[in-house]
Homo-oligomer: A and B are copies of this chain.
Amino acid sequence: MSSQTLVNTLGFFGWNSTAEAVKDERTKEEILNKRKNTIGSTCQIFYSDNPFMVSRASMQYLYDENGKRFLDCISNVQHVGHCHPTVVEAISKQLATSTCNVRFVSTQLADCAEQLLKTLPGLDTILFCNSGSEANDLALRLARDYTKHHDAIVIEHAYHGHVTTTMEMSPYKFDHGSSLSQPEWVHVAPCPDVYRGKHRLEDSELRNAEKLYEAGKQYSNDVQEILKNVEEKNRGVAAYFAEALQSCGGQVIPPKDYFKDVASHVRSHGGLIVIDEVQTGFGRIGSKYWAHQLYDDGFIPDIVTMGKPMGNGFPVSAVATRKEIADALGGSVGYFNTYGGNPVACAAVISVMKVVREENLLAHSQKMGEELEVALNELKQKHESIGDIRGVGLFWGIDLVKSRDSREPDQRLALDVILELRQKYGILLNADGPYTNILKIKPPLCFDKSNVLETVSALDQVLTHFNR
């Protein structure tokens, strides 16, 4: 069913999305004012000088208040496409059937858990939550209750969520003006970033397997050092937390064998490995369902957390682990999460997985990744301002620098590029990383070859325009 057919179908409710958008005659300024007066100032807006009001969204496109179309390279949540009809249909049907919590039995919960576990060999149990933050918080509780240790190792610049505990585990938050400070139970390991991290490679070595292996070893040894220091303080590490590919921290792809080595160190000290796939799962990397499976080396985390793409916009997240870890969760009151695992959320996830399967989105994402690699490499050869490009599937980072030699981040250029792309080319891109200089490409997986070419060509023109 096409998106338009669905809109027609929903017209049966006496409704038409385009017409309704037109009917609402209030101006953007009026809505912005109302927002300003009712929502705190800490809730930031994209393009804050001239914000974007979404009238509707469809697949890889957003439409502003005037119906103008924009290509969306930002929305990794709307994984199979904004308002994908299969997902809208599945959620709408279940909403009209039952929304009962997990204290009641539903086929959706069991089917959803089973289908997720099929993608995660070595793990056998799922606990559902509503957000990536809740999932990471639960992962920590599981690790603490199972290991009887209390501490966590996290990666420099990591982001694991917005609740108190996950913020305390997020240098991305506590190093950036947050009132929260790093607690004594959190230990920060260097980010395994061979371009900007502690152990760097030369430009010529960035794709050299042997050099990457060596750097990976150095980074995993850093984790081993932390483990020793923690033990000397008579503390114990419950879990090592890492995003499978660091996202907000700068689109970082850890070297092969890094996670395997870290796992061996952490486990020998009685800790668990938690891999945060909240931004990277469900085929974003193309070759595999999960980013931690990238190297196909048999690395299996003890706990995997997932979120964003899983409901295509419906709030749902989960923790996958082994039964003995799940069952170690303390408290006679058990684990109950009002919405977690409700049949609507599960129907959403099942439908997302169905679309990924039926539309061959893994193969598609991989192919688009290959296209992007070629096109971005060409772009890099042309523009000195591109220090590095890195990515897999539909997860890419373009590291903008003031000079390739110094690798000094060019935050100003990144911001200029983003504004120009939106203004002149109708393309929505974002910048992130510790220095906000890394252009992130992480669009819905329906992003196609013409979108790749359009984006790279626009980038080419914009970088030429700024002549940096």
- A residues with a Cβ closer than 8 A to B are 3, 6-7, 9-10, 12-13, 15, 17, 20-21, 24, 26, 28, 31-32, 34-35, 37-46, 51-57, 62, 75, 77-78, 82-83, 85, 87-89, 91-93, 95-107, 109-111, 113-114, 117, 124-127, 130-134, 137-138, 140-141, 144-145, 162-165, 167, 172-173, 176-180, 307-308, 312-316, 323, 326-327, 329-339, 341-345
Contacts and interface: CB of A to CB of B under 8 A. Distances in A.
Contacts of A344: 313-314
Given A31-B107, A39-B102, A75-B100, 14 more contacts: A9-B12, A12-B12, A34-B113, A38-B125, A43-B341, A44-B103, A45-B102, A46-B104, A51-B105, A54-B343, A91-B92, A138-B162, A164-B164, A173-B331
A20 B347 CA distance: 14
Contacts of A85: 96
Contact of A177 (B15, B332, B341): B332
A24 to B, nearest CB: 6
Contact of A110 (B38, B100, B130, B167): B38
Given A99-B312, A315-B130, A124 B307 contact: no
A333 B54 contact: no
Nearest to A131: B130
Most buried by B among A82, A91, A131, A144: A131
A165 to B, nearest CB: 4
Given A91-B95, A335-B42, A54 B163 contact: no
A43 B329 CA distance: 10
Contact of A40 (B62, B100, B327): B327
A21 B412 CA distance: 57
Contacts of A91: 91-92, 95
A162 B326 CA distance: 15
Contacts of A103: 44-46
Most buried by B among A13, A137, A336: A13
Given A52-B104, A315-B315, A126 B38 contact: yes
A252 to B, nearest CB: 18
Nearest to A78: B99
14 contacts: A38-B114, A39-B126, A42-B327, A51-B104, A57-B98, A91-B92, A130-B131, A162-B336, A163-B164, A164-B164, A173-B333, A177-B330, A307-B338, A315-B339
Contacts of A164: 137, 140-141, 163-165
Contacts of A57: 97-100
Considering the complex of A and B, which 9 residue pairs feature the smallest CB-CB distances, nearest first?
Answer: A179-B330, A99-B313, A40-B326, A178-B331, A177-B332, A38-B113, A315-B339, A34-B110, A92-B92
A349 B54 CA distance: 19
A82 B107 CA distance: 18
Contacts of A34: 110-111, 113-114
Contact of A327 (B17, B41, B88, B124): B41
A151 to B, nearest CB: 14
A104 B63 CA distance: 11
A155 to B, nearest CB: 17
A144 B164 CA distance: 11
Given A35-B110, A163-B137, A17 B96 contact: yes
Contacts of A176: 331-333
B44 A131 contact: no
Contacts of A89: 13, 15
A152 B458 CA distance: 53
Contacts of A44: 103, 334, 336
Contacts of A52: 104-105
A218 to B, nearest CB: 29
Given A131-B338, A308-B338, A323-B40, A83 B98 contact: yes
A138 B337 CA distance: 17
Contacts of A124: 37-38
A44 B331 CA distance: 12
